[in-house]
Structures are given as C-alpha cells and as structure tokens.
Amino acid sequence: MNNFHINTKCLHSGYTPKNGEPRVLPITQSTTFKYDSSEAMGDLFDLKASGYFYTRLQNPTNDAVAAKIADLEGGVAAVLTSSGQAASFYSVFNICGAGDHIISSSAIYGGTFNLFSVTMKKLGIDFTFIHPDASQEEINAAFKENTKAVFAESLSNPSLIVLDIEKFAKAAHSHGVPLIIDNTFPTPVNCRPIEFGADIVLHSTTKYMDGHGTSVGGVVVDSGNFDWTQNDKFQGLTTPDESYHGITYTDTFGKGAYITKMVVQLMRDLGSIPSPHNSFLLNIGLETLFLRIQRHCENSLAVAKYLEGHDKVSWIDHPGLESSKYHDLSKKYGATCGVISFGVKGSRETAVKFMDALKLVSIATHVADCRTCLLHPASTTHRQLSDEQLRNAGVTPDLIRFSVGIEHTDDIIADIDQALAQI
Ligand SMILES: *Cc1c(COP(=O)(O)O)cnc(C)c1O
C-alpha cells in the first residue's frame, strides 16, 4: 500500500478482501485452527511453515490490524499486544536480559518509568535515565559496554517534550544499538519516527489509535532497518535458538527477525495478546484516525490560545503554540497532538476546584480520547515518583494534563471559561 496517502492507508491497509469476502475486516474469534495432518501442524511448530494454529501466537484479525499499523509507520512488520505496557516491555526485553543496560529518556509515561526502574530492574536489567534535552555529548556519555538500546517518547506524556529524534538516533547508531520510540502521542498521522532514524516504534493503542476509550492495547513496529548482525550484542537474534531446533532469526527471517522472535518467544512464553474483538475495535478506530487527529490538533490549538490569554492561568505548554520551547522541533518532526498541559494560579486546592467545576469535560485516567478529559498526574499516574523524579519527568506538582477531544471548540472553551470563573 506504499503509494497511498496516510488517510487512505488508515482505511485500506492490512486487509484486502478477495472476491465475495466481507468488506469489513472479520473478527476471527477462534483460539485454534484445524489441520488435516499432524505433519502439517508439526511444521508450524518448528517454524518450517507459516500458518495459524493458536491465537496466542497469531490470529488473522490481530495480524491484519498489526499490518495496517506497520504500514502507517512505514515499518516492515508489527505485533499487537494486550496493552501499551506490554508493548514497552516486549520492545526492550526482546533484545536484552539480565546483565544488560538500556538508556532511557527520563520524560516518559509514569507506568513505563515504573516498569523500567522497578520491575525490569528486578530482572537484572539496568537503566540510565537522561533528560530528552541532553546534548550529544551527554547522551554519548551514558553508554556502557553492555548497552543494548536507547528508549524515548517522541512527544512525552504528560510533559509534552519533543524529542530530537535524529540526535538520539545518531547517538544510538554510533554505539551499534537501536533507537526505540514510543510514538503514542503524535501517532503516525503527525510523526513517523522511522523516517528520522528510529528503528523500533511502539504505541499504547489505547490512546488515539483506538480513540474511543473502548480497548486497552499496544503495538510494536519494526522498521526493518537495524542490522542486528553488525556486532555481537544481539545474540538472541543472531545465534541459534535451541527452543526452535537451532533456528537463527536473522538468517531465517531477515528483516522480519525482530518481530518473529517477539511472537515466537515472548508471545509463546508470556502471552500478552489482544482479543480479536479488541483488535476489531482498534481497526474501526484506525479508520478515522486521520480525521480525528486533525480535529484534536485544531481544537487543542484553539483551547491553548484561549488559556494562554487567561489571567488565572499561570503557565501553559502545547507544542503547537509559538511560545513553546519545543515549537520548532515540533514543526520539524510533526510531534504534536491534542494534549495541553497548564497550571492555574493559586494552590493545589485551586486546581482541584477548577477541575471539579468542569461539566462537559470529565476527570478520567485517560488521555487522547475523543471526549475531552483531564487529569492531575502528580496525584494519579505519577504519584509514585519523588519530587526529583517528577522534575526529571517534566511534571510540576500543579500540572493539569488536559486532553482536548473532538467536540465543538466553542463548547469546550465555554466549559473551561465557566470553571475558571469559579476559582
Ligand atoms: C498510556 C501510555 C502507555 C501505557 O499504555 P497502556 O495501554 O495503558 O498499557 C505507554 N506510553 C504512553 C506514552 C502512554 O500514554
């Protein structure tokens, strides 16, 4: 589908019905698949033949949606996961193990920070966190002999810091490791990190991709560009896997090596697959992704401009505003979305009073939904972080994460206006 525009791909990639087949991607709600002979089934288990046999590994609905997202990001292959958290874990764990080291941006989603700094640490994987604004020298200084990847968000949740993707890609590649990007906030409609040198891209599809707040999910996309054989850091991909009779992923699967290994090892052993029904819903969301993202961005810019001029607002950040420190980087990479962060003048209680006074806008542990919603990260998603960790994540105690939906702009602004009048 490579010649189509991205809005056409949103509708048509991943599934092309043949004569007489359903026009809409069908839900294959079956755990298992039938074969005529044991030998045919055995070949699938040995990875000698490809085909469906058990939905924990592969399912036609899941695969079609994964292929659509791979195409939207400009990658060669993808795998859907049951959550964004699983996608973050798999993206890293697929190429590292106990004794390895990963460099991560400090401005990442609170759940990812916890996964890296607590849970994966227990598995013996060591992380160094660096600020996304770090200079090339500072990034280079963070590398160790056992570093296996660099991880960052293209547009950070909730601090809205735009990553200089090319700078991080250069640093990663000069040390022979891939750059892994969480592209949840901009989505491939606005930003395609692979075009700027990222090797692996992942998403919490729970956010804009699903868009309607129906299904938790994630996806990992491989660009196919990283040469895993250039050094001996990635032996899980470049040496024989005894659990599959000595298959070597890079030899047998070429550009599909990373995603194949993720499916046949991590999905086999850990099993974070989405239900085909959730993938069906995700696909419906993807069909309108382009239209929704356009409206989210228009609306959020209008709301940001309104807030910028309001005397009860102490500060505001949105990469689309010219006053944003990240405006130029945002224009270069397309890293923007419908999320705004801001603070109201006064105490923490003032912020709570403002939030409680909203009528149309709802308080929800969610972001990037078609309905406008907001959240106070310091007391919710980021509450486990110390003050210093909060600062490094770009989250001030008064930060309100405001996720602008696709309602009429005037209605959203009127609701904010009446709530601000009450504080
Ligand atoms: C929400 C989110 C995640 C985690 O995804 P879940 O689907 O909630 O597991 C990861 N990264 C970013 C940027 C997110 O916003």
Q: How confident is the model at residue 188 (pLDDT cuts 50, 70, 90)?
A: very high
Considering the chain, what is the average pLDDT of its residues? Answer: 95
- pLDDT > 60? residue 1: no
Beta bridge partners of 80: 219
Both tokens of 132, joined, read: 């996304």
pTM of the full predicted structure?
A: 0.96
Rounded to 10 degrees, what is the CA torsion of 132, 136, 142, 147? 90
Task: Specify the residue with its C-alpha closest to ligand 1, atom 6.
Answer: 84
CB-based contact 190:334 (threshold 8 Å): yes
* Residue 301: HSE in the Cβ half-sphere, 13 Å Cα cutoff: 13
Q: What is the CATH number of domain 6-284?
A: 3.40.640.10
Residue carrying structure tokens 């991709």: 209
Alpha carbon of 109 to ligand 1 centroid (Å):
7
pLDDT band at 241 (very low <50, low <70, confident <90, very high): very high
- Is the model's pLDDT at 411 over the cut of 60? yes
pLDDT given for residue 397 in this prediction: 80
CATH architecture of structural domain 291-420: Alpha-Beta Complex (3.90)
| Coil vs helix vs strand at 200 | strand
Same fold yes or no, 6-284 and 291-420:
no
Average pLDDT over residues 330-355: 93
The reported pLDDT for the residue numbered 393 is: 76
Ranges of each domain in the chain = 6-284, 291-420
CA of 189 to the centre of ligand 1 (A): 18
Pocket of ligand 1 (CB under 6 A): 83-85, 88, 109, 111-112, 153, 157, 182, 184, 204, 206-207, 216, 218
In angstroms, rounded to a whole number, what is the distance separating the alpha carbons of residues 405 and 361? 9
Question: Which of ligand 1's atoms lies nearest the C-alpha of 218?
Answer: 7
Does residue 381 surpass a pLDDT of 80? no
**Whether the bond into 188 is cis, omega within 30 of 0:** no
**Quick check: 167 and 137 in contact, CB under 8 A?**
no
What does 404-418 look like in DSSP terms, one character per residue?
--SS-HHHHHHHHHH
pLDDT for 124: 98
Gap between the Cα atoms of 229 and 99, Å rounded: 20
Q: Is the pLDDT of residue 403 over 60?
A: yes
d(CA 403, CA 283): 22
Q: Mutation test of ligand 1: which of 157, 180, 200, 373 has the most ligand atoms closer than 8 Å to its C-beta?
A: 157
Encode pLDDT of 123-180 as tens digits: 999 999 999 999 999 999 999 999 999 999 999 998 899 999 999 999 999 999 999 9
pLDDT-above-70 percentage for the chain:
100
Task: Return the amino acid letter for 275.
Answer: S
